């Protein structure tokens, strides 16, 4: 998330009651989780085995719970609970905005776009031209939708990320990671009925131009879907996955988090993608492997009773 106005690290240290180490003249221009950071961003780390990764990332200002050597050009803000400090910043600069009318007065809706009855459009939403939004679709704040987009009934765009920190020894076991990202839907996308597309925790969930989603699909936070991707019903894609152009996911495919599906890959129905897979091939099974190899494996498995009977005679 980009900040509307840069923040001095001295102001941040005071606001968060943190000890400042390193460059005291920095200005923060964004808030991001570690895999999305760019120069100028604030990020956080509270687990020692990830210190090095965060300290040497693109983040300029790092919330951390231990005094360590500060890399050149960076600023550390040392506090007892970096996760809670990060959430404090998100709530301060991306607070929840109440909606009092079905269509926010701050929403921008393009020429020729039609909204059927029951559609809810949140604050600062932008919808392009010649779109068709069917009944009871809910579009959360800050969503951006391109031109010639069709969204079928009861779909929800921009819900919060499913992201929690596990706390031990507290009544509140799971602490919510507040979301400040967006959903971006590019031109000529079609989204079926009763789909759910979560916004990014701090960055964007993106559906690329020309992609088509069937009914009852879930797209997790921060997922990036390329152009002309086809996704059949009941597919679930976990957070921060990258699906490159021209991929096809057939019905009930499950995709794990933090992986990449290469350009032009086809994943057959009811498969489970557990690791990154290369493009240009067809996959099947759980874990998904080359479909031809999986069919050979299944053929051998079917022969096990026959082979066992021969061996035991």
Q: Which residues are catalytic?
A: 221
Tokens representing 7? 């923040």
Tokens representing 254? 């499950």
Q: How many CA atoms lie within 13 A of 179 on its CB side?
A: 25
Helix (H, G, I), strand (E, B) or coil at 190: strand
Taking the chain, what is the end-to-end CA distance rounded to the nearest angstrom? 69
Could you count the other beta carbons within 10 Å of the beta carbon of residue 287? 13
User: What's the CA gap between 72 and 210, in Å, rounded?
Assistant: 44
Answer whether 187's CB lies under 8 Å from 208's CB.
Answer: no
Residues in contact with 184: Cβ distance below 8 Å, sequence separation at least 6, in sequence order: 143, 144, 204, 205, 206, 207
**DSSP label at residue 36:** G
User: What's the CA gap between 88 and 105, in Å, rounded?
Assistant: 28
């Amino acid at each position: 998330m980009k900040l509307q106005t840069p923040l001095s690290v001295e102001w941040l240290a005071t606001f968060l009651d943190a000890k400042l180490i390193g460059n005291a003249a920095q200005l923060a221009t964004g808030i991001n989780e570690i895999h999305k950071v760019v120069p100028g961003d604030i990020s956080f780390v509270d687990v020692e085995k990830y210190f090095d990764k965060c300290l040497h990332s693109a983040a300029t200002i790092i919330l951390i719970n231990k005094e360590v050597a500060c890399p050149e050009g960076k600023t550390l803000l040392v506090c007892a609970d970096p996760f809670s400090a990060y959430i404090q910043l998100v709530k301060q600069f991306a607070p929840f905005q109440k909606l009092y009318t079905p269509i926010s007065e701050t929403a921008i809706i393009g020429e020729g776009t039609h909204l059927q009855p029951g559609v809810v459009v949140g604050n600062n939403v932008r919808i392009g031209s010649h779109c068709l939004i069917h009944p009871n679709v809910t579009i959360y704040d800050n969503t951006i939708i391109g031109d010639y987009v069709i969204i079928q009934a009861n779909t929800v765009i921009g819900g919060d990320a499913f992201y929690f920190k596990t706390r031990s020894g507290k009544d509140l076991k799971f602490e919510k990671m507040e979301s400040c990202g967006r959903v971006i839907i590019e031109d000529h996308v079609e989204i079926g009925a009763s789909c759910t597309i979560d916004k990014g925790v701090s960055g964007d969930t993106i559906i690329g131009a020309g992609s088509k989603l069937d009914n009852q699909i879930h797209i997790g936070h921060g997922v990036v879907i390329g152009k002309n991707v086809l996704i059949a019903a009941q597919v679930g894609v976990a957070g921060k996955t990258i699906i490159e152009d021209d991929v096809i996911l057939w019905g009930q495919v499950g995709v794990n988090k933090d992986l990449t599906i290469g350009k032009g890959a086809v994943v057959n129905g009811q498969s489970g993608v557990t690791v990154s897979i290369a493009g240009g091939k067809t996959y099947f099974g759980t874990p998904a492997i080359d479909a031809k190899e999986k069919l050979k494996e299944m053929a051998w498995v079917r022969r096990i009773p026959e082979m066992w009977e021969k061996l035991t005679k």
